[in-house]
Amino acid sequence: MGFKYLNKEQDIFDGDDGEDVYANEEQLQARLAYFEAQLAGLSENAPTEDRIKNLLEIGRIQVERYKGADAWEKAFTAFTLAQDDELWELAVEACDVMFLSEGPDALVALGHALWLGITFPIDPEITVAMLQHLVEESPEEADTRAVAATVAHYITSMRCGEEDDLTFFTSQMLASVADKHSHVTDQSTFDLWRRTLELDKPDVFLKKLSGAIDQLVEGKWWIDKDKIRTKLDNENQN
């Protein structure tokens, strides 16, 4: 896997997508009413996935309305349902809503999102989004930013391939992090920076990320990691 320094004309974290950040309350209320009606209309035999998706939509709307407590409640319910049915991608999305709700355990939720998003081969775009949260939550000079950006590029390289747009995006993210971390501005300095931080060694940077996740969760695990690992090992052996 190659790591190429890609400079860019603007910081990817400071861009404006041209869309309004906030929808007006009337629109949000209409969307909320729609998804609440959808959720209420589900029969007992409805697929769990449908229930989870409606809960997540309600949670996201409540985040936009600054109703963090309600967003957390809906997202945690969605997470519990997803965990019970081993719908891990939806579980990560639920953790994302909890993180965005800015509740007391928001960073615990982010830690779960990171662990699940890396452990399971879910949509890499979702995993990258979780790693970007970690980048943005960490101080610019912190090695955790470098590790998170490196893992994001590693994930996209493995799951998407070197030529994919998402891999290009993570290359940009890594370049931005390198610049802010150590004022890296060219390929040779970038290569030296990577070697110095051992970002060229997957076994090292993945272990460092694991340590960062443990710091986020602080022992408040909602999942049985050992049980999940054992099941994955058994599946890989078959």
What pLDDT was estimated at residue 237? 81
What pLDDT was estimated at residue 186? 92
Other C-beta atoms closer than 10 Å to the C-beta of 188 total 9
What pLDDT digit, counting tens, does each position of 100-127 carry?
A: 999 999 999 999 999 999 999 999 999 9
pTM for this predicted structure: 0.88
Largest CA distance in the chain: 60
CA-based torsion, 34, 35, 37, 38: positive or negative: positive
The single-letter DSSP state of residue 66 is T
Residue 11 pLDDT more than 60?
Answer: no
What is the mean predicted confidence (pLDDT) over 156-174? 94
Per-domain residue ranges for the chain?
A: 23-102, 105-222
What pLDDT was estimated at residue 20? 55
What pLDDT was estimated at residue 36? 97
What pLDDT was estimated at residue 206? 97
Other C-beta atoms closer than 10 Å to the C-beta of 203 total 8
